Amino acid sequence: MTHTTTRQGDGTITVSPTNEANQSATIIICHGLGDTSEGFVDVAEHLSSKLPYVKFILPTAPTQKVTMNMGMQMPSWYDIVGLDKRSNEFCNGIDISQQRLLSIIGSEMDAGIKRNRIVLAGFSQGGALSLYTGLQLPTNDGGCDELAGIVVMSGYLPHSSAFNISNGLEKTPIFHGHGEADPLVRLENAEESKSTVMEKGATDYTLKTYAGLAHSVNPTEIADVLVFLQKVLPADDKCKIQLKDPSEMSIKELKAAIAKAGLGRQAVGLMEKKEFIDLVKRHRDGKL
């Protein structure tokens, strides 16, 4: 087994290399309106089998009222008033979700993953959030790397009047897949989004359309997404995450690492902390 899938109480799902030491990149996938992280876990696990060095993080949006859906409460990254251009300017809550993605990116960077080894991806509203966030990352005087890429599936650019690309992020590669028969986020919206983003300075924006595809994804699009990801996130052992030394881990941390790696049987009968440390070390070194 190349990956391990874990679920957290806040709805976040993580699909990561079984051997955590093999991680050298991260992809964050945001679901669409009314969905949860479960909606894309199969896609993440499929991509993980082709990208065994990538950790996938799938957060779940907060449940809140959505104006367009008669005020019904559902998982939503921000409020949606309507699908027309004018209504698209009213995205109450998008700043909060933007900060949440920035927090996830920050945590991965704290763990040793560079920003140019991180991809933001999403479907529909989640794709819109990824596009809006990924090109407006905070920068500093010393400059900073852009993301490895952004993937938008059946999405669009939200709140365009407040959108500006951060200095230095203009070359961020963007793949936008869109169904030609999408009745919700129409193809014209995707085309206009691309035009606006490029007018703002983006230089690498690919919009690929799929005949007969409605508001969904299909195997052909996922295959194209994989090609894009393999291009922007090639395997690179020099970028592997820097994990905490097992000898510095607590018994609780060691047992958690052993459980995540599926080493429960090998741990049966172990009593001393040094035995747990040795087990984790041997696993990370590929000796198990």
Burial class for 219, CB neighbours closer than 10 Å (0-12, 13-18, 19+): exposed
Query: 82 pLDDT exceeds 90?
Result: no
User: Strands, DSSP E only, in the chain?
Assistant: 3-7, 13-17, 25-30, 54-58, 63-66, 72-75, 118-123, 149-153, 174-179, 205-210
Model confidence at 2, pLDDT cuts 50, 70, 90, reads confident
Residue 284 and residue 21 in contact, taking contact as beta carbons nearer than 8 Å = yes
Which is more confidently placed, 103 or 280? 103
What CA dihedral angle connects 91, 95, 100 and 105, to 10 degrees?
110
Judged by DSSP in three states, 146 sits in: coil
Maximum Cα–Cα distance across the chain: 65
The question of whether 216 is a catalytic residue gets the answer: no
Residues 157-172 have a mean pLDDT of 94
Q: Which of 35, 130, 182, 193 is catalytic?
A: 182
Q: Which of 24, 48, 97, 124 is catalytic?
A: 124
Judged by DSSP in three states, 85 sits in: coil
CA 175, distance to chain mean position in Å, is 14
Which one-letter DSSP state was computed for residue 22?
G
Q: Are strands 13-17 and 3-7 parallel, antiparallel or unpaired?
A: antiparallel
Model confidence at 144, pLDDT cuts 50, 70, 90, reads low
pLDDT over 90 percentage in the chain = 79
Query: 142 pLDDT exceeds 60?
Result: no
Query: 175 pLDDT exceeds 80?
Result: yes
Residue 48 has a pLDDT of 97
Residues 26-35: tens digit of each pLDDT: 999 999 999 9
Q: Are strands 118-123 and 25-30 parallel, antiparallel or unpaired?
A: parallel
Q: Which residues, other chains included, contact 274 with Cβ-Cβ below 8 Å and sequence gap of 6+?
A: none
Residues 245-279: tens digit of each pLDDT: 889 999 998 988 888 787 888 889 888 899 999 99
Which is more confidently placed, 36 or 20? 36
Residues 180-234: tens digit of each pLDDT: 999 999 999 999 999 999 999 999 999 999 999 999 999 999 999 999 999 999 9
Can you list the alpha helix ranges (DSSP code H) found in 71-146?
94-110, 125-134
Q: Which of 215, 216, 224, 278 is catalytic?
A: 215
Q: Phi, psi at residue 31, to the nearest 5°?
A: -75, 175
The question of whether 195 is a catalytic residue gets the answer: no
The question of whether 182 is a catalytic residue gets the answer: yes
pLDDT over 70 percentage in the chain = 98
